[in-house]
């Protein structure tokens, strides 16, 4: 089998992140760093993935999808030791190439991974390290080359001389290895470690495999990636914020180059799994997170929050929150609307200020202009819902659905006590509390008749009302 595979190292504790979660689940643009690395691995065409877990292993295993193998590193003895745990996985891909990636460097991109593989294959390398030049190399492993530019080895910050510390080309922590060469190098790393003098660092550096392979006269190369972002990792929340800002700018640029208008980027955060059509305008304070698709010619914001939703063409979402729902073409929504999970909003609907929709289908051309709650409901189409209406969906024990058929007109301040059906073209009188189904074309009046008590004020009022 000639399937290339990937090992992602994710056993680190991330003490400096000060989090109760594993470090690799810290988020960049609302997406865990580990998911960035997994997605980019897949984008580069590698499907067989093994994640090495350690600290809070359970939560990583449950987080990952089932197609990904995991292996536990019981003691965290360094990156070399972490890869040793995956020996069987490597052996199963014996004649292929193995990509090793760090779970805490989310901005490694598919293009760099693929280009490095091309070079790796063309040069018949035993190992190819993805490197980049950075302004501040502190903390990274430095790339040591000979006079001709050939890669010699990688030296870690703590072992580097002052001259080596001045080198700005650093190790990204991403490598391609020939599977057999990696197994040989790991074995030698283990032997060398056993023979190392007592007191020396108990860590196994994966970076040492480069010098080991070079000594065996096998070819090793450093592939200089186009962008310094490939190396950037986050060990604390300050670095995490820096990664967020870099990724945020990259995403905004991607959308602008696709024809999306972002006249002012203030407070706009767009996750990496968002697609937006041309001629859509994104206004300040808007956040689009998770898997979101927005069509063409929409206006999103100011201050919209859209999560895991589908939005059609020509939609306006002004100061609106929309989660796990879909909104069809031409809908005009907001300001101050909340669309909760499980809702579908039909084409050319108008939903206005202070309306909440939950787990409801709102059919095309429907108007819900102000101050209403529509939950667990099926509103067929072309319905008019007046101001201040509520579907009363919860008995305190169970939830029930409300059905409002085509062309119905729900008067202001109507309560619809579910389960209840309002027929086609039916009306409800303002202020009604409707407990029974209303037939097609009927008017339901469900309120006490008004009584005017003549001269009540002069007979009952004990004293004159005073202005205070």
Instruction: Provide the annotated active-site residues.
Output: 370
Region near ligand UD1 per CB under 6 A, out of 42-50, 96-104, 119-127, 428-436? 96-104
**Strands (DSSP E) found in 244-335:** 269-270, 274-276, 281-282, 287-289, 292-294, 299-300, 305-307, 310-311, 316-317, 320-323, 326-327, 332-333
Q: How far is the CB of 69 from ligand UD1 (least distance, A)?
A: 15
Q: Are strands 344-345 and 361-362 parallel, antiparallel or unpaired?
A: parallel
Closer to Ca ion by Cβ: residue 233 or 407: 233
CA atoms of 295 and 278, how far apart (whole Å): 8
413 binds, among ligand UD1, Ca ion, none (CB under 5 to 8 A by kind): none
32 binds, among ligand UD1, Ca ion, none (CB under 5 to 8 A by kind): none
12 binds, among ligand UD1, Ca ion, none (CB under 5 to 8 A by kind): ligand UD1
x/- mask, ligand UD1, residues 203-222, rule CB under 6 A, reads --xxx---------------
Neighbours of 61 (CB within 10 A): 13
Site membership for ligand UD1, residue 73 (CB under 6 A) = yes
Site membership for ligand UD1, residue 104 (CB under 6 A) = yes
The binder of ligand UD1 chosen from 12, 32, 314, 386 (CB under 6 A): 12
Site membership for ligand UD1, residue 112 (CB under 6 A) = no
- Helix, strand and coil content of the chain, in percent to the nearest 5, comes to 25, 30, 45
By CB under 6 A, what part of segment 118-147 binds ligand UD1? 140-141
Whole-number Cα distances in Å, 231 to 45, 103, 165, 225, 453: 20, 11, 16, 9, 81
Site membership for ligand UD1, residue 9 (CB under 6 A) = yes
Supply 402's token pair.
């409300």
Closer to Ca ion by Cβ: residue 104 or 307: 104
DSSP state string for 396-461:
SS-B--EEE-TT-EE-TT-EEESSEEEPTT-EE-TT-EE-S-B-TT-EE--SPPP---TTHHHHH-
The binder of ligand UD1 chosen from 28, 102, 304, 328 (CB under 6 A): 102
Site membership for ligand UD1, residue 77 (CB under 6 A) = yes
Supply 446's token pair.
């469900």
Q: Which residues bind ligand UD1 (CB under 6 A)?
A: 9-12, 24, 52, 54, 73, 76-79, 81-82, 102-105, 140-141, 154, 156, 170-173, 205-207, 231, 233
């Amino acid at each position: 089998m000639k399937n290339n595979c990937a090992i992602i190292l994710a056993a680190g504790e991330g003490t400096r992140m000060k989090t109760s979660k594993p470090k690799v689940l810290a988020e960049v643009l609302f997406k865990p760093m580990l998911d960035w690395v997994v997605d980019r691995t897949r984008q580069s065409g590698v499907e067989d993935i093994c994640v090495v877990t350690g600290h809070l292993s359970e939560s990583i295993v449950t987080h990952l999808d089932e197609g990904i193998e995991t292996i536990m590193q019981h003691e965290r003895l360094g990156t070399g030791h972490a890869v040793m745990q995956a020996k069987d996985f490597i052996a199963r891909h014996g004649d292929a190439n193995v990509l090793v990636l760090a779970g805490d460097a989310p901005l490694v991109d598919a293009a760099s991974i693929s280009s490095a593989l091309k070079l790796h294959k063309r040069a018949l390398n035993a190992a190819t390290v993805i490197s980049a030049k950075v302004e501040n190399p502190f903390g990274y492993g430095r790339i040591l080359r000979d006079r001709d530019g050939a890669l010699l080895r990688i030296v870690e910050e703590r072992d580097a001389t002052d001259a080596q510390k001045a080198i700005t080309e650093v190790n990204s922590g991403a490598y391609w290895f020939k599977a057999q060469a990696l197994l040989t190098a790991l074995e030698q790393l283990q032997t060398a470690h056993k023979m190392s003098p007592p007191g020396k660092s108990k860590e196994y550096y994966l970076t040492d495999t480069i010098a080991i392979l070079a000594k065996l006269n096998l070819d090793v190369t450093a592939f200089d990636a186009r962008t310094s972002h490939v190396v950037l990792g986050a060990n604390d929340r300050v670095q995490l914020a820096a990664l967020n800002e870099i990724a945020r700018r990259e995403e905004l640029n991607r959308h602008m180059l696709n024809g999306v208008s972002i006249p002012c980027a203030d407070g706009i955060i767009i996750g990496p799994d968002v697609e937006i059509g041309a001629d859509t305008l994104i206004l300040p304070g808007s956040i689009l997170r998770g898997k979101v698709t927005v069509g063409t010619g929409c206006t999103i914001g100011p201050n919209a929050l859209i999560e895991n939703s589908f939005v059609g063409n020509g939609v306006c979402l002004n100061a609106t929150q929309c989660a796990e729902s879909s909104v069809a073409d031409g809908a005009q929504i907001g300001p101050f609307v909340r669309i909760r999970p499980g809702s579908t909003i039909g084409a050319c609907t108008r939903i206005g200020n202070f309306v909440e929709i939950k787990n409801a289908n709102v059919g095309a051309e429907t108007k819900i202009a102000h101050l209403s709650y529509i939950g667990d409901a099926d509103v067929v189409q072309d319905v008019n819902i007046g101001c201040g209406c509520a579907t009363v969906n919860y008995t305190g024990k169970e939830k029930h659905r409300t059905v409002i058929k085509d062309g119905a007109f729900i008067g202001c301040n109507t309560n619809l006590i579910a389960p209840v059906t309002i027929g086609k073209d039916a009306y409800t009188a303002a202020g009604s509390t409707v407990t029974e189904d209303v037939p097609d074309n009927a008017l339901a009046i469900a309120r006490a008749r008004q009584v005017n008590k003549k001269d009540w004020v002069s007979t009952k009022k004990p004293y004159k009302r005073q202005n205070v």
